[in-house]
Amino acid sequence: MRRAAVLPLSLLSCLLLAAHPSGAQTSFDVRNRDGISRNPAGVRLLLRTIEGKLTFHLFDTIPVELEFSSSRPSTYSIEFDEEMNFAGSTHKFEIDPEDAVLLTPSELEIQGVICCESDRHYLSQRPTVFKRELTDYLRFERAGTYRLFLTTRRVFKGPRDSDDFAASKILLTSNILTLTILPDDPEWDAERLAETLQQLHDPHLKADYEALEQEITNMSSETSQDLARANRLDQTKFAQAQKALNALDTREAIRERVNLMDMMSKEDISLEREAGESGGGSVLWQPLLASTTRPDLVVASMAARAAGPDFGVDYDYVDWWAKYIIVRDHTGLFRPFLDEAEHQKRLHSFAEYEIAAKQGVVLRLESLLVAKRGVARDITALTIKTVNAEIAYETKGKGQSPASR
């Protein structure tokens, strides 16, 4: 009779750890464990993908849900408003490994909010769920297995004080979510592009989107509008097609993304120019350019479209063009960061690079202006004047622009 070998438990554990080095705790694991240990008793933040899907294509959207709950009724509240106070805009993802991850420009740029409104509700055992796309926050540059968790300061002890619009002192930490990103698949890319373009050009899908958008606009509460846009409007087939196209980083898809950008009219630009002391304009949200892993292709496509004699280049177009010049030339600014000091340092660098990038874009537009025709020439000329006024305002008192240093 063969006798089974029995190893001491401590030795067995060591052997297993040696055989599977990934089982060793990393600083990422420690930060997550320590963060969860500091969560208030009974309060839970669950990060999960929709329908439990954990494997995605490289250029896929990644729909996620953020689920908040508390086993202690009428004890902890959550801020719903993500636009008009500081608490609602404090989501931050930590990723392992982070060397192949790019933050979206909006994630780097967030410095504050328009103040001040609040819409706070008590948490209960019935979950409060926010639907999002991970690709609104970050992008994966290559295939691999990634782990991530979320932290936020939007949960508070008790109700809101009447004059308190700051982020919470409570830093809530989620579970770790593990995702597998597949290598690029050109056949899948082509099928995805054809499908999304068909949906974006479907008049019925667009009509349904616009009808819901109008319904949401008529809501009396701005917070209700924001929540409905994220949890309802952004989940429509038309909006999902926009997000899907935004995530496709093939040369053909990026060309389509740039060509489908909405432009402002000549009258819109005049109003924007007159609205601000600096002559700057308000940047419109562009879901088709919200993120990319190929800023070189975005910049090239934007330059090509801008050269068209009948295309009027507006302020919004210049702003996105400059952003992706910075992503292309200073990619390190858009890597994940752990502390706010590093974030502020990068914001300062970004602001200086942005002036230089816009100066370069304006020089390009000035050279293209002679070939522009009709309204396209008028709009482009207004944009050049607007951006030059903004640059002059930003560099006032500094002696010289970053481009000439």
Judge if 236 and 149 occupy the same domain: no
154: DSSP letter = -
Last residue of a domain, one of 152, 184, 216: 184
Number of domains within the chain:
3
Judge if 237 and 314 occupy the same domain: no
pLDDT-derived band at 397, boundaries 50, 70, 90: low
Judge if 362 and 223 occupy the same domain: no
Check: CB of residue 68 under 8 Å from CB of residue 155. yes
Greatest mean pLDDT among 17-26, 224-233, 278-287 lies in 224-233
Residue 360 lies in a domain: yes
Residue 223 lies in a domain: yes
Q: Which residue has the higher pLDDT, 87 or 371?
A: 371
Residue 4 lies in a domain: no
Q: What CATH number did the domain enclosing 149 receive?
A: 2.60.40.2970
Judge if 180 and 35 occupy the same domain: yes
Last residue of a domain, one of 248, 269, 286: 248
Q: Which residue has the higher pLDDT, 119 or 59?
A: 59
Judge if 269 and 240 occupy the same domain: no
| Rounded-to-integer distance, Cα 252 and Cα 284, Å | 24
pLDDT at 307 over 60: yes
Q: What angle do CA 77, 93, 86 make, to 5 degrees?
A: 45
**Alpha-carbon dihedral 152, 157, 158, 162, rounded to 10 degrees:** -60
pLDDT at 105 over 60: yes
Q: Which residue has the higher pLDDT, 17 or 162?
A: 162
Beta pairing partners, 156: 77
Q: Which residue has the higher pLDDT, 73 or 17?
A: 73
Last residue of a domain, one of 184, 216, 240: 184
CA distances from residue 266 to 213, 278, 359, 379 in whole angstroms, order as listed: 25, 18, 21, 5
Q: What is the mean pLDDT of residues 284-305?
A: 92
Judge if 232 and 363 occupy the same domain: no
pLDDT of residue 401: 44
Judge if 48 and 166 occupy the same domain: yes
Average model confidence (pLDDT) for the chain?
86
Judge if 94 and 175 occupy the same domain: yes
Task: Give the amino acid at 314.
Answer: D
pLDDT of residue 402: 41
pLDDT of residue 284: 64
Judge if 168 and 52 occupy the same domain: yes
Residue 239 lies in a domain: yes
Judge if 232 and 161 occupy the same domain: no
Q: Which domain holds residue 243?
A: 185-248
**Alpha-carbon dihedral 47, 148, 20, 5, rounded to 10 degrees:** -20
pLDDT of residue 24: 63
pLDDT-derived band at 212, boundaries 50, 70, 90: very high
pLDDT at 298 over 80: yes
Judge if 173 and 190 occupy the same domain: no
Single out the residue of 63, 66, 61 nearest to residue 51, CA to CA: 63
122 exposure class (CB count in 10 Å sphere: 0-12, 13-18, 19+): middle
Q: Which H helix or E strand runs over 273?
A: helix 266-275
pLDDT-derived band at 349, boundaries 50, 70, 90: very high
Helix/strand/coil (H/E/C) assignment for every residue in 334-372: HCCCCCHHHHHHHHHHHHHHHHHHHHHHHHHHHHHHCCC
Beta pairing partners, 130: 66
Judge if 265 and 356 occupy the same domain: yes
